[in-house]
Structure 1
């Protein structure tokens, strides 16, 4: 099959500026490209050529200001068997009209079918134009099918994934070396490290973790809360909310560290040097990919009961779900439990690694996608 994977107009592929969708597309493309003809389409970036071939995958990049126009022209001129469009349901009708013989797969990574983003008419047209709709979690699937019943027969959850070789748990020889190296570089030897990775925005809840810190320090004076991220992907500018976080963190100079935007290649080392991972999202998270990364690194997970996050947590086996997600003390309670019990941390981390190996490696994700493409190409005629 000749397949195009189309990113949004926000960030380039490969994910040199970050972005979950960009990581997802670049990762699955390399696997699908082993057997199929694959092209990845994204926006231009000054650090990337307008077109190139990497291994077995073609990359084409268009101007972000004319992105939809140029993608539409491209798919109308190049006959693709399947076009996999990410997160832009409002574009689908236009693209399908431009390439009537192509099967279109829409993957939905956020609540893109919400009424404020898509009218009833637009939603119905999109669903009609799509051969299949795949979602990153059951939660996101329900946001579509609860509004548009006709989408049920086309909608399927295909979970995202992680590079199992790139993320190494501490008990592996490579992970053990990384653990010592990164802790030495950051001056964190002897600390019990609680890791947060994500945008420093109110919806991600980092302020709640800072509010939880006094309750943690009472029991673990050697605790270190490490925040990795900035206000937006690749943007280290400081807004008022980030200033507030820095002010709170400054009250605990021995227990809080902020690390700004980190290049994707450096992220695995930060997981490897940590003891516990925490996701304090306050919004209805689709299913944050940090959960896969933490499991791959062998970390126990504490996550909020928001959106799709709980779907990858087996309570008490690879982590814990915080139902009282706005309450700092709820996080502190679970964090104190895990920081006090290294055997429990290890057991939960082992279970998490086994879970991600069984179902969330990029090869598995690519296989799942390929089956969807094959079904669409075989069974749906427009």
Structure 2
């Protein structure tokens, strides 16, 4: 059986300089290659061939200056490939278009966030039309599933949850911990790590607001903030400049590290004592949670969105009430900083939880289970 995976076209596959959707695709789709013929469609980039193989999955890269040209290139590639299944990644509007172009194929929609189903991105009426055209809709958390059901109750029967994951062999390497810390002069600091884009959604301002209380109780604390406002870029924004102003009086206790490529992130997780994910809304999953847990770190996250499905409160870290961040965030961080055995125990439990349910192999297996359900409904001919 032939299956095609159409990425948004914002970043290439593989996406070394960012693109969370592309990163999910590049990691789990090749694991399907033992079961079906798979082909990934994405944009081209310097140094990447128009066609190539990625661990058993063929990549078709489109040279296109804009969205319309990219879509035309994808359609031309699909006509030549003639897939029986086309999966659209995170772009609902493409579903009815591809369904019209390829009426004999099953067209799935795989939602990685609720960004493109929100009222700002698409009208409720158009969204219902797009979801109605999909033969199956995959989401990355039960939180996102409930959101889609609320927006389009008729889509319930089409929905399936496929969690993203991590490569546990890639994370978890703490052998170089002291060497890396020593190289930066941080060997005697307690490191609280944030990793992600510097946008209001991620809540870094809440983390910085907790810093004065943390410094009073832990004078050797160091808050390390890794990331920038834009994927693959060190450009600043009004929000990131606001964060720098907030941190200025506490410069001895804060380190900003601009954009770090995904391949170098294990070292940053490895040197930390714990990770904080202070997103207060609309976080459908939060891949950084499982990356931190795979690295053996406890996680302090907000009790919102899909993060409630990842972090087990009191076991692999702590979930804090988004309405009580000013009190609960410094309290939970302090509790972990004060108790090394608690940190180690929660970190070990977090890695065990990842190995049990959040690897890319789990992602691929869940996807294949959704395929079997679709086949079972008579939606596709072998």
Give TM-score, length-normalised by structure 1: 0.93
2:378 and 2:111 map into 1 onto residues whose CA distance is 20
Residue 310 of structure 1 aligns to a residue whose secondary structure is: helix
Once the 2 structures are TM-superposed, how far is the Cα of residue 117 of structure 1 from its aligned partner?
Answer: 2.8
Distance change (3 Å), C-alpha of 1:54 and 1:237: same
Per the alignment, residue 17 of structure 1 pairs with 17
2:284 and 2:183 map into 1 onto residues whose CA distance is 34
The 5-angstrom pairing of residues 18-33 of structure 1 reads: 18-33=18-33
Per the alignment, residue 134 of structure 1 pairs with 138
Residue 267 of structure 1 aligns to a residue whose secondary structure is: helix
Once the 2 structures are TM-superposed, how far is the Cα of residue 184 of structure 1 from its aligned partner?
Answer: 2.4
Stretch moving more, 87-96 or 280-289:
280-289
Matched, 1:122 2:126: yes
Once the 2 structures are TM-superposed, how far is the Cα of residue 359 of structure 1 from its aligned partner?
Answer: 0.4
Residue 151 of structure 2 aligns to a residue whose secondary structure is: coil
The 5-angstrom pairing of residues 213-232 of structure 1 reads: 213-232=211-230
Match of 1:93 among 93, 96, 99: 96
Deviation by residue 1:104-142 (Cα, 9 ceiling, x = unmatched)? 221111213333433344333323332211101111111
Residue 175 of structure 2 aligns to a residue whose secondary structure is: helix
Given that residues 206 and 278 in structure 2 are in contact (C-alpha distance below 8 angstroms), is that contact kept between their aligned partners in structure 1? Answer: yes
Given that residues 313 and 319 in structure 2 are in contact (C-alpha distance below 8 angstroms), is that contact kept between their aligned partners in structure 1? Answer: yes
Per the alignment, residue 172 of structure 1 pairs with none
Per the alignment, residue 196 of structure 1 pairs with 194
Given that residues 16 and 263 in structure 2 are in contact (C-alpha distance below 8 angstroms), is that contact kept between their aligned partners in structure 1? Answer: no
Residue 88 of structure 2 aligns to a residue whose secondary structure is: strand
Once the 2 structures are TM-superposed, how far is the Cα of residue 312 of structure 1 from its aligned partner?
Answer: 1.1
Per the alignment, residue 368 of structure 1 pairs with 366
Matched, 1:254 2:243: no
Distance change (3 Å), C-alpha of 1:373 and 1:258: same
Once the 2 structures are TM-superposed, how far is the Cα of residue 333 of structure 1 from its aligned partner?
Answer: 0.7
Once the 2 structures are TM-superposed, how far is the Cα of residue 15 of structure 1 from its aligned partner?
Answer: 1.7
Once the 2 structures are TM-superposed, how far is the Cα of residue 267 of structure 1 from its aligned partner?
Answer: 0.5
Residue 252 of structure 1 aligns to a residue whose secondary structure is: helix
Given that residues 162 and 366 in structure 2 are in contact (C-alpha distance below 8 angstroms), is that contact kept between their aligned partners in structure 1? Answer: yes
Once the 2 structures are TM-superposed, how far is the Cα of residue 64 of structure 1 from its aligned partner?
Answer: 5.3
Given that residues 113 and 143 in structure 1 are in contact (C-alpha distance below 8 angstroms), is that contact kept between their aligned partners in structure 2? Answer: no
Residue 278 of structure 1 aligns to a residue whose secondary structure is: strand
Distance change (3 Å), C-alpha of 1:279 and 1:325: farther
2:30 and 2:271 map into 1 onto residues whose CA distance is 28
Per the alignment, residue 103 of structure 1 pairs with 106
Once the 2 structures are TM-superposed, how far is the Cα of residue 378 of structure 1 from its aligned partner?
Answer: 4.8
Per the alignment, residue 171 of structure 1 pairs with none
Distance change (3 Å), C-alpha of 1:118 and 1:240: closer
Per the alignment, residue 50 of structure 1 pairs with 50
Given that residues 314 and 320 in structure 1 are in contact (C-alpha distance below 8 angstroms), is that contact kept between their aligned partners in structure 2? Answer: yes
1:9 and 1:328 map into 2 onto residues whose CA distance is 39
Deviation by residue 1:342-362 (Cα, 9 ceiling, x = unmatched)? 111111111111111000111
Stretch moving more, 159-168 or 72-81:
72-81
Once the 2 structures are TM-superposed, how far is the Cα of residue 363 of structure 1 from its aligned partner?
Answer: 0.7
Distance change (3 Å), C-alpha of 1:129 and 1:236: same
Residue 14 of structure 1 aligns to a residue whose secondary structure is: coil
Given that residues 280 and 322 in structure 2 are in contact (C-alpha distance below 8 angstroms), is that contact kept between their aligned partners in structure 1? Answer: no
Unaligned runs of 5+ in 2: none
Per the alignment, residue 34 of structure 2 pairs with 34
Stretch moving more, 208-217 or 372-381:
372-381
2:125 and 2:210 map into 1 onto residues whose CA distance is 45
Q: Where do 4+ consecutive residues of structure 1 move more than 4 Å?
A: none
Per the alignment, residue 153 of structure 2 pairs with 149
Residue 137 of structure 2 aligns to a residue whose secondary structure is: strand
Once the 2 structures are TM-superposed, how far is the Cα of residue 306 of structure 1 from its aligned partner?
Answer: 2.3
Once the 2 structures are TM-superposed, how far is the Cα of residue 308 of structure 1 from its aligned partner?
Answer: 1.6
Per the alignment, residue 180 of structure 1 pairs with 178
Unaligned runs of 5+ in 1: 169-174
Once the 2 structures are TM-superposed, how far is the Cα of residue 5 of structure 1 from its aligned partner?
Answer: 1.5
Once the 2 structures are TM-superposed, how far is the Cα of residue 16 of structure 1 from its aligned partner?
Answer: 1.3
Matched, 1:4 2:7: no
Given that residues 305 and 325 in structure 1 are in contact (C-alpha distance below 8 angstroms), is that contact kept between their aligned partners in structure 2? Answer: no
Stretch moving more, 347-356 or 76-85:
76-85
Residue 239 of structure 2 aligns to a residue whose secondary structure is: helix
